[in-house]
Each structure stands twice: as C-alpha cells, then as structure tokens.
Chains A and B, each alone.
Chain A
C-alpha cells in the first residue's frame, strides 16, 4: 500500500515487543482478556436492565449493598444459565440430558466454523469478505435443490449436495474475486451488495413452484431427501451430525492450504503486501479469484450444514445471521484455522446457551450479539493490552497506540512470519490492513 504510514521507528518497537518473550503469550492473552472484558461489560448491561436491580437502586443510599447483590445475582444467574445451556446441564436427570447442551453447542458451531473459515481465508489474502451471508444463501439454495429434486443412493447424494453447496458459494465468492481482480471493485462494497442480491434471489426462488412444496405457496422448499442429509453422529436425541466432522476436516484443509501448499504461500504473500508479492512474480489477480472461490466454498459448506444438518429444507432464514457472525468468529480467531475453529465453538456456545438463558432468566438473546462484537472491539483496542505489553518491554516507549493492527486479529501468529518477512508492511498491519482501497488503486493503475 502506498500509505504515508511507513513509520520505521514504530515498526521496530513493535517487533521488539513481539519478540520480547514467548510469542504465544501475547497472542493467547489478548483474546482471553478481550473475552473477559466483554463478558464483564455484558454483565453490567444485564444487571443495569434487571428489574430487581432497578428496584434496589431506588434505596441505593440507605442500603447500597442490596444493589450490588442484586446486580451480581442478575448477571451471574444469566451467565450460569448460559453455561447450562451451552456446556453441561447439572440438573438433567439422565447423562443424555446433562451433555445435550454440549452437543447442541457443537451443532450450532458447525456452520459458524465453516463460514468463519470462509471469512478467515479471505483475510489472509488481505480481502475483507463480508459476503459470507450471501455465499451461505446461494450454497444452501443449490445444495437444497440437489437435495430435494434429485434422488440417489446415500453416499453419492450427500456428496453431490456438498459439492453443490461448495459450487454455489464458490461462484458467489469467486465473482467478487473476479471483479476485484479485473476492475478493482472494492470487495467490501461488492460483498455487501451481493448479500442483498442473494437474499432477494432466494426470496424470488421461494415464490416459484419448482422450489415450493406441492400445492403450497408457503416460502418453504420441500424437505431434502433422507439420502441427502448428514447422518447423526450420536443418534436421535442429539442433533449433532457428521457435518461437524466435516468442519474439522475443513479446518485441517485450510491449515494445509495455507501452510503447506504453494497457493497458500501466495495467498499469505498477497495478503501481507500485494506489491511485494507482485514483484516476487506472484499473480495477484489470480490469487484474489482463487482465495475468494475458496472463501465462498467454505461459506457454501455452512449452507450445506444448515440444509443437510439441522434445517432439512430451504427457507428465507436458512442462513440465520451466520454470515455476519462469521466475521466476528474470524476476527476473534485471528484468521488462523485453529483460532477460527475455537472461536466458532465459543460463539456456538454463546448462541446455544443464549436460548436457555432467555427461557431461564428472561435475559434477551441479543446480549450475545453485544458480547460478540465487544470481544472483537476489545481485541483491537490497544489500551487494554498496552499495560501488559509495556511490562514486557520496558525499553520500548511510545508504543501505546502503535501498530494496533497487529492486535486487529489478522495473522499475527507465528505461521505467517515467513510470508511477512518478505512483505512486512509499514504499520505491521498484516492481513486486513490491505483491504483498504489502496490495493484497489493499484489494481486499476
């Protein structure tokens, strides 16, 4: 990028910070601190809107302890309920009931992981893929169509459904890469627009007889065939299906692509510094297309997980808000395969637990959105961590507002170091930093 941000002293200071002490402490500490801070703030919000707390504040000055006790009770009982709903239910009378929440978390996490990988791999090439939502929708549409319109024996049918989902998402994502490569159109704008186009396209298809149940005008497709569904992993009471194993496989696949394949090296090089990559003979435009096809393919798998895993038929709400949650998943996971997987599990737990929380304590599920976005903001917020950093590098002064971009969740893990060596960017901003129109300008020039 041609930014006037080449700020050598700061970069050096930052590198000192990074290398001072074991690397993983810094990279693991930030997300953990951010999660704790976000949960705390979410707790404050829960407590502040709790009725008993409000009543206690009415006589705050005569007995302030009541307010604090009520606030603690409100927040802790909400989070307790969330834990029961997401991990382990101690009041269940059978073992099945007790561990049901955990399997539910894994089930909900499955599409989140897929879509999160789709956002993460694009980040690694410096592209900000906000279009996971649209890619899920198109992937789900194609997968569902193959699922209900064709009839075939089990392994083949399911396989074709998966392929259809990948193709659908891949086309929708690849189009973005193509436009970016050929015309310099900014991927953020294009993906936002494609999300809406996909939603409207699906809404239209759900008015056509070919996508509706016979004799019905309900915007709901016929159920996909048994042979097109993921078998259950643990048997009936649990919804957990083989899609989860596919999510693990996809995570490993992304790790392999990024760290062991040529195209992965190119993706990381393009993401770190498109100009340097171009100078080194890497075809940047091809890189954009390939990575967006892959990103869309991952997101399309999220659509498959919905269609063949939990939903069983196509409706307008089939993607829920997974495509947008995926952005926060990838950011929390710092765009690494393992990180994204773990972040997907965490947010899957939030989603699964939130339902129990709302029924048990009446706390609205939207608190999850607040906590989710706060986590991402806190990860990016340098003051939260500058204290910890300063302790580790007493010599490097003035680094407080320094390359916050390294905290912005892109690629600051050790694995990207090799690509970054050749292509260290001014602000130390790997990954998403090059999603700025700077790259666009070059593509057009």
Chain B
C-alpha cells in the first residue's frame, strides 16, 4: 500500500484536475460528496470499534512473510489480535476527526488520508478475520501474491475502462472485452499453436468489441451504457454458442491453446515478500507492472493524455482548441480494447489453457468497480483491483484456516465498497464530467 503514498498525488499540479487540488474554499462550495467523506469514515470507524475492537480475537495473529527459498529470512509478524483491533480503531477515529476538521475548514479530505484510512481498515480486518480462525496464521506473501494473480485481468479491464472514460465514453463492455479476448486467445492460440498469436488475437478480439462500442456510441450517438450492456449479452451469447458448436466438438483443434511463459527473475524473485509478487510472474503479469506506470505517465504527463482528459471533461472547449473530439474518442476506445484483450488472454493463456462458457464471470464489472473506487486513476485502479483480488483470494485462504466468516460476505466486499465509493461515503469519487455524453460538433 505504501506505493500509493509515495507516488505524487496525480490530482495536484496537473491541468484539468484543478478540482481535486482546490484548497481553502468555503465549506458550502465543496461538492456534496466531499462533505460526506467524514461521515463514511465515521461509519467505518464505528464498524471497526464494534467488530475489530469489542469482538477482537483473543489470540495472537501470525503473518508469515518469508518462504523457505528466500534469500534471507524476515521474522514473522506476530500481533495480538485484541490490542491491534483497539489501536486501529483509535487511529481510524483520529483520521475521522481529522477529515471532519478539514471539511469544516472548507478543505477536501486529502488523498493520502483516504489511502491511509483504507490501509488501516484492511489491516484491521485482516487481523480480525485471521484471528477469528481456528489456526490464526497466514502467509502474507501467499495472500498478496495470490491476490495479485487474481487482480491481473481486473487491472487490464480497469485500464481499458480508464482509456474510454477519461476521453468521455463510458465502457460497461469491459466484461465483453475480457470474455471475447479470452475466447479469441483460445481459438487463435490453439489453431496457430503459438501463445503469442493467441495474445495478439485476444487484443484484436477485444478491440473488435471496442469497435462496435465506438461505432454505436460515438458515430451514431446511441446511449453508451445501453450499447455496453447489450454488447456484454452479445459476447456472452456468441462465445457460448461458438463454444458449444465449435470448441467443444473439437477441443483438440480449437480449445487447447499453449500457455504463455511464466518465469522468475533470478535473485530478485527470492527477496522476501516482494520477490514472489513482483519478480515471479507470467508474461501477462509483467505486462501489468509495465502497463500501470505507462498508462499513468501517458494520461498525466503527455500531450495525448492532456487532450484525452480535456475531451472527457469539456469536449467543447477541447474542440474549440482544435482537437478532433470524436476521432480521439474513437482511437482511445480502440486502444482500451487492445489493453483489455491482454487481460482477457490471462484467462485462457495463463491461468488455465481452455475456454469455458462465461469464464470471466463478472470480472469486467469488478474491473469497472475498481476503476471507480480507484477514482479513474491507473494507480488507484490498480490498488482497488489488488484489494478486490486479495479479498477473493482470502475467501479460499480462509476456508483452509477454518473460520466462521461466511465466504459470501467476503465475495460481496468489492461491490459494497464500490457503492460506498459512488455514494461519496469514502471521499469524493467523481468521474470525467462528460463521460456518457456523445459529442456533437456545432
């Protein structure tokens, strides 16, 4: 989590983002969602008080960090469950008071405090949930590494959504892009016998979905959300149909793609904690580590990025300055498709090597949630996707540890958090102003 606090907060000092960096304004002038942030903080602090502190586990909780093969050993982190619950609750309460004072003096809740709050809450939750298990010991490295693996397609999906929404096109079709990418990768990989061809096909396949989205919503100005939802149904039906008629009937020929290579970088991968997460990945995983900074840099530090944000916020102004709004949106939506395709290939070229019906099972919607929770920022989206990935990894980990926590509630977590986020209860979450609206040149 520390990466986020060290990264320059993207809102500050960047054109087109002035609203986030605004300081010293009249409290009434703050957006309503910003004024609600302390309220959300307070609610969660109360949850923490009741659950983590009053119902805190009596036993100590062990987080294992080093594995057997690591370069050097880092001692396990052992924390007392109950005390940690209280400490974290007090810290959360302090942050709530801080946020409240900030808002009362007419300033926005700073991003770092939201991130810190989130990190503390997650830590408190982890200690509580693991401490309540029969065997209160968990490998932090394994938990995170598994979470990262699950987050890979989510991150690519989010980045695809980011490319589209930053330029003013809402992309509900992430699910369709991932699914069609996975499908294309399976077929092309099987027929050609090369995983790389499969990866390329996944990108093209997902870009095709983008193309339909772009033609309908940009060229013909059909409601973007309707097109997105319908595209998801179309892709689900089309891949399901072709899966039953082609892929299943001749699986050897059409549905057994080779796997993309996975490799560990020597020495670095043996570092404790970060080694397995950063340096022992599939190719797609490494692509993810590359894609996040690249997209961040492109969006916030290049001319293309400035223009993209401009047409997403105020297309008319951008048009006046000579930017071809609709052409740029079209290109960005296609680029988003290419990115989502890489994520789609993860399903059929990395995690398993065959396509099954509806195998993305809603990951596109979680990616959308991560994008919103991450405030339309590549790094934020990555952290949100990581959180969601860890949450779903925790489900399987907890079933090993033997806990009374129903897995369904953990599965619900990303969706509840997203609703809190769009309701503004965890800080202002505001998308590009013109996302969803077609642009008509006058």
A residues bordering B, Cβ < 8 Å? 1, 3-7, 10, 45, 49, 128, 130, 179, 183-186, 188-190, 192-194, 196-197, 200-201, 203-204, 207, 324, 327-328, 331, 363-364, 366-370, 372-374, 376-377, 380-382, 401, 403-405, 407-409, 426-427, 429, 432-433, 435-438, 441, 444-445
Q: A178 vs B221: C-alpha distance in the bound complex, in angstroms? A: 29
In contact, A405 and B223 (Cβ under 8 angstroms): yes
In contact, B245 and A1 (Cβ under 8 angstroms): no
In contact, A408 and B231 (Cβ under 8 angstroms): no
- Closest chain-B Cβ to A92's Cβ sits at a distance in Å of 28
In chain B, residues 391-442, which have Cβ atoms closer than 8 Å to a Cβ of chain A? 406, 408-409, 411-412, 415-416, 418-419, 422-425, 430-431, 433-440, 442
Q: Which 7 A-B pairs have the closest CB atoms?
A: A369-B237, A436-B436, A366-B240, A373-B234, A364-B244, A204-B408, A4-B316
Asked if B236 is at the interface (CB within 8 A of a chain A CB), the reply is: yes
In contact, B416 and A197 (Cβ under 8 angstroms): yes
In contact, B216 and A381 (Cβ under 8 angstroms): yes
Pick the residue among B418, B423, B436 that contacts A437 (CB under 8 A). Answer: B436
Query: Which residue among B223, B234, B238, B433 has the maximum number of chain A CB atoms within 10 Å of its CB?
Result: B223
Pick the residue among A7, A193, A364 that contacts B442 (CB under 8 A). Answer: A7
Q: A377 vs B173: C-alpha distance in the bound complex, in angstroms? A: 14
In contact, B408 and A201 (Cβ under 8 angstroms): yes
Pick the residue among A185, A370, A432, A438 that contacts B226 (CB under 8 A). Answer: A432
Q: A21 vs B438: C-alpha distance in the bound complex, in angstroms? A: 29
In contact, B32 and A444 (Cβ under 8 angstroms): yes
Task: Kindly list 5 other residue pairs between chains A and B, CB separation below 8 angstroms, not including A377-B234, A432-B223.
Answer: A4-B316, A5-B439, A196-B412, A408-B226, A437-B431
In contact, B437 and A408 (Cβ under 8 angstroms): no
Given contacts A130-B229, A207-B406, A436-B437, contact A369 B223 (CB under 8 A): no
- Closest chain-A Cβ to B90's Cβ sits at a distance in Å of 28
In contact, B233 and A196 (Cβ under 8 angstroms): no
B residues bordering A, Cβ < 8 Å? 31-33, 36, 170, 172, 212, 216, 219-227, 229-231, 233-234, 236-238, 240-242, 244-246, 315-316, 357, 362, 365, 368-369, 372, 406, 408-409, 411-412, 415-416, 418-419, 422-425, 430-431, 433-440, 442
Interface of B: prevailing SS: helix
In contact, B221 and A370 (Cβ under 8 angstroms): no
Residues of B within 8 A of A408 (CB): 222-223, 226
In contact, B437 and A438 (Cβ under 8 angstroms): yes
Given contacts A324-B233, A377-B234, A405-B222, contact A183 B32 (CB under 8 A): yes
In contact, A183 and B244 (Cβ under 8 angstroms): no
In contact, A196 and B237 (Cβ under 8 angstroms): no
Residues of A within 8 A of B226 (CB): 128, 331, 376, 380, 408-409, 432
Query: Which residue among A370, A427, A435, A438 has the maximum number of chain B CB atoms within 10 Å of its CB?
Result: A370
Pick the residue among A49, A183, A201, A441 that contacts B412 (CB under 8 A). Answer: A201
In contact, B234 and A4 (Cβ under 8 angstroms): no
Given contacts A4-B439, A366-B237, A373-B231, contact A185 B244 (CB under 8 A): no
In contact, A200 and B223 (Cβ under 8 angstroms): no
Q: A201 vs B246: C-alpha distance in the bound complex, in angstroms? A: 36
Residues of A within 8 A of B234 (CB): 369-370, 373-374, 377
Residues of A within 8 A of B227 (CB): 377, 380
Given contacts A4-B315, A5-B439, A437-B431, contact A184 B33 (CB under 8 A): yes
Residues of B within 8 A of A49 (CB): 241-242, 245-246
Residues of B within 8 A of A331 (CB): 226, 230
Q: A241 vs B430: C-alpha distance in the bound complex, in angstroms? A: 47
Q: A374 vs B245: C-alpha distance in the bound complex, in angstroms? A: 19
